Amino acid sequence: MQTHQLRIGTRGSALALAQAHEVRDRLVAAHGLSEDAVGIEVFSTTGDRITDRPLADIGGKGLFTKEIEDALKEKRIDMAVHSTKDMPTQLPDGLEIVAYLEREDVRDAFIGRDGGGLDDLPADALVGTASLRRQALVRRLRPDLRVESYRGNVQTRLRKLGEGVVDATLLAYAGLRRLDMAHVATALLPLDRFPPAPGQGAICVETRGDDERARQLLAEISHAETVSALSCERAFLGKLDGSCRTPIAGYARLDGEKLFFHGMILTPDGMEAHEVSGEGSAEDAAAIGERAAADVRDRAGTRFFDSWS
């Protein structure tokens, strides 16, 4: 039986496997390892198995990570690869995100069954998406459309779209690119009108906080600019108690040593939204995100958050 020097845990979707292989390939290249030295173990998570209900109704983002994190805590694997936007801001005790790969394109891709973009859909067309952020933004921009929850992996959603279950859907463009499926996007949504989820487009690697070997190996493949941007975005999300019940957008970018942040919070019906901006030194990334969260929370007022409960 093959004994691996390193064991990577991941979900079993095509996208999750592509991300795990990217981490493995980077580790192999950075440390001169053989591919056989790094094993990939696939886990079926509760979030993958239950697809007939909105994520918020069955426990939130953590359902996509629980089984993998249990294996990590029990030392059955050495590290876990995730889509950062799927990660809760509060991790289980003893676990940490210690690396982010260089970020991909952060935009949302629009896929219309008949082509075109969001503005081209006729009134009363049906848009399917499981993301409350995407639902709220669609309702904000096109209140004449119908929106419903629409779960499943990339291939499942595209198959349902082709069968006419919905007229359009939205997916992270980064995921399509990683699957060599960028061509299915019929439009890309602009960041100023359709800001992304915090962490969108970034692969993160989680490990045990006391595993210095894994930490040192991963340090060689972690991308410093992405680390700063994600520190800001996840601080923003964390201070707003972000969950699958909360439509929150946030995007940080670096220009040299300076970081610029744009965030948005919405009511689920998209009828009310508040935007916030922040900037400062990249070294203060988390503080910029926290200040932006406090600012937008104060301006929105307590009544606004009643719709999030």
Q: How far is it, in rounded angstroms, from Cα 83 to Cα 100?
A: 10
Q: pLDDT at residue 8 above 70?
A: yes
**194 assigned to some structural domain:** no
The residue with tokens 């006419």 is 164
What is the pLDDT at residue 54?
55
pLDDT digits 0-9 by tens, 230-266: 999 999 999 997 655 689 999 999 999 999 999 999 9
Could you tell me if 145 and 92 lie in one domain?
no
Write down the pLDDT at residue 53: 54
- Which segment of 3-12, 85-94, 217-226, 278-287 scores lowest on mean pLDDT? 3-12
Domain, as residue range, for 50: 1-103+202-222
Q: Quick one: pLDDT at residue 5?
A: 86
Computed over every residue of the chain, the mean pLDDT equals 91
In this structure, the answer to whether residues 264 and 299 fall within a common structural domain is yes
Q: What is the pLDDT of residue 170?
A: 97
The reply to whether 86 belongs to the active site is yes
Which CATH number belongs to the domain containing residue 82 in this structure?
3.40.190.10
Q: Do 29 and 123 have their domain in common? A: no
Residue 157 dihedral angles phi and psi, to the nearest 5°: -65, -40
Q: What is the pLDDT of residue 306?
A: 83
Q: What is the mean pLDDT of residues 4-25?
A: 94
Residue 193 lies in a domain: no
User: Residue 255 belongs to a domain with what CATH number?
Assistant: 3.30.160.40
Determine the Cα–Cα distance for residues 161 and 171; give it in Å rounded to an integer: 12
Residues 90 and 208 grouped into a single domain? yes
Query: Quick check: 305 pLDDT over 90?
Result: no
Q: Report angle CA 241, 174, 166 to the nearest 5 degrees.
A: 80
Domain count, the chain: 3
Residue 163 pLDDT > 80, yes or no? yes
Comparing 121 with 149, which gets the higher pLDDT?
121
3-state SS class at 88 = coil
247 and 277 together in one domain: yes
4 assigned to some structural domain: yes
Residue 283 CA to residue 285 CA, distance in Å, equals: 6
Q: What is the pLDDT of residue 3?
A: 53
Least Cα distance to 254 among 57, 102, 88 occurs for 102
Q: In the predicted model, is pLDDT for residue 2 greater than 50? A: no
* Count of alpha carbons within 13 angstroms of residue 41, beta-carbon side: 22
What are 21-68's pLDDT values in tens digits? 999 999 999 999 988 899 999 998 765 555 555 555 544 555 668 899
Are 39 and 156 within one domain? no
Are 172 and 231 part of one and the same domain?
A: no
Catalytic residue among 86, 108, 167, 211: 86
Q: Judge if 71 and 160 occupy the same domain.
A: no
> Which of 84, 105, 109 has the alpha carbon at shortest distance from 206?
84
Confidence of residue 164 (pLDDT cuts 50, 70, 90): very high
Q: What is the pLDDT of residues 89-136, one digit of tens each?
A: 999 999 999 999 999 999 999 999 999 999 999 999 999 998 999 999
The larger pLDDT score, comparing residue 110 to residue 4, is at: 110
Largest CA distance in the chain: 60
Q: Are residues 214 and 227 in the same domain?
A: no
Mean pLDDT of 265-287: 96
